[in-house]
């Protein structure tokens, strides 16, 4: 056994560390000026300084750099492509993120074919074998229930509103709080509210609707998108 590998975080310890708290997603899309490893590390350090309970980050190099710089639970993913299953789409991507030092690997757990022909369950098993925990990124209630039964340690509403053909919540512009409430009530594992949470009030509402913790990305770590929202606001006078 490689003694330099950190001991796996237990699901119970992780749930305790995240209860009622904020996870900050420190990502930048392709082509964005913020998409640079040391910049993303600074975002993660800022999140830690501001009181975040955990960080979510994309790609092995960034995950490894944040792991070395920030002493918080780290949720890693590996986005590959932007259509179909693109969040940690294969077993290979999932294992690489665990090996880069993520405590938790976030994996697409939607009911869609995966590029390597594998399954969410197979990716989850591989992550557990590598000593990390699994967050299932889902779009629907049924996907959340299935992912928990297949070994997810956490379920997140990350993909609600982003999968063509899936039910769209009435409050599509904002977070899918109806899905948050339904999954929180049904699951035995922590339900994380994620996706389009733009204000502290919406984050608090997600907890009030039953979420165990809340992920915020764009509203904290994406100046390009935020600037665009203000620019668009000014043109709507
Ligand atoms: C749909 C998808 O690919 N979501 C990604 C998942 O990692 C990220 O692009 C989001 O920023 C993240 O989920 C946080 O959400 P928001 O940025 O809305 O706070």
pLDDT at 173: 84
pLDDT at 1: 35
User: What average pLDDT does the structure give for the chain?
Assistant: 94
Measured in Å, residue 217 CA sits from the centre of ligand 1 at 6
> Tokens 């997600």 identify what position?
206
pTM, two decimal places: 0.95
Which residue out of 26, 27, 136 has the highest number of ligand 1 atoms within 8 Å of its CB and is therefore the one to mutate? 27
- Cα–chain center distance at 175: 14
Domains belonging to the chain, first-starting first, are: 11-235 (3.20.20.70)
pLDDT at 3: 39
Which residue has the CA at smallest separation from atom 12 of ligand 1? 217
pLDDT at 4: 40
Cα 74 to Cα 166: distance, rounded to the nearest angstrom: 29
> Tokens 């600074």 identify what position?
42
Looking at the DSSP assignment, which residues form a beta bridge with residue 106?
135
217 lines ligand 1 (CB under 6 A): yes
Looking at the DSSP assignment, which residues form a beta bridge with residue 192?
156, 213
HEC string for 138-193: CCCHHHHHHHHHCCCCEEECCCCCCCCCCCCCCCCCCCCHHHHHHHHHHCCCCEEE
86 lines ligand 1 (CB under 6 A): no
160 lines ligand 1 (CB under 6 A): no
Contact between residue 135 and residue 192 where contact means Cβ atoms under 8 Å apart: yes
Q: Tell me the torsion sign for CA atoms 134, 138, 144, 149.
A: negative
Q: Which parts of the chain have pLDDT scores under 50?
A: 1-7
Q: CA distances (Å), 128 to each of 48, 68, 114, in order?
A: 26, 21, 19
From the CA of 56, give the closest atom in ligand 1.
7
Which residue has the CA at smallest separation from atom 19 of ligand 1? 217
């Amino acid at each position: 056994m490689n003694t330099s590998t950190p001991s796996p975080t237990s699901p119970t310890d992780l749930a305790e560390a995240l209860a009622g708290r904020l996870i900050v997603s420190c990502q930048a899309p392709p082509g964005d000026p913020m998409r640079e490893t040391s910049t993303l590390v600074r975002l993660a350090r800022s999140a830690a300084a501001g009181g975040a309970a955990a960080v979510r980050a994309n790609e092995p190099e960034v995950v490894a750099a944040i792991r070395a710089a920030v002493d918080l639970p780290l949720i890693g993913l590996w986005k590959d492509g932007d259509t179909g299953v693109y969040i940690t789409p294969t077993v290979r991507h999932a294992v690489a993120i665990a090996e880069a030092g993520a405590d938790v690997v976030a994996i697409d757990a939607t009911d869609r074919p995966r590029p390597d022909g594998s399954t969410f369950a197979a990716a989850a098993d591989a992550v557990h074998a590598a000593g990390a925990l699994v967050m299932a990124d889902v779009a629907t209630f049924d996907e959340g229930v299935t992912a928990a039964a297949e070994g997810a340690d956490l379920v997140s509403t990350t993909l609600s509103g982003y999968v063509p053909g899936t039910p769209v919540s009435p409050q599509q512009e904002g977070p899918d709080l109806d899905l948050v409430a339904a999954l929180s009530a049904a699951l035995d594992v922590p339900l994380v509210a994620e996706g389009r949470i733009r204000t502290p009030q919406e984050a608090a509402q997600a907890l009030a609707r039953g979420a165990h913790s809340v992920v915020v990305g764009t509203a904290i770590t994406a100046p390009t998108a935020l600037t665009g929202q203000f620019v668009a606001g000014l043109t709507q006078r």
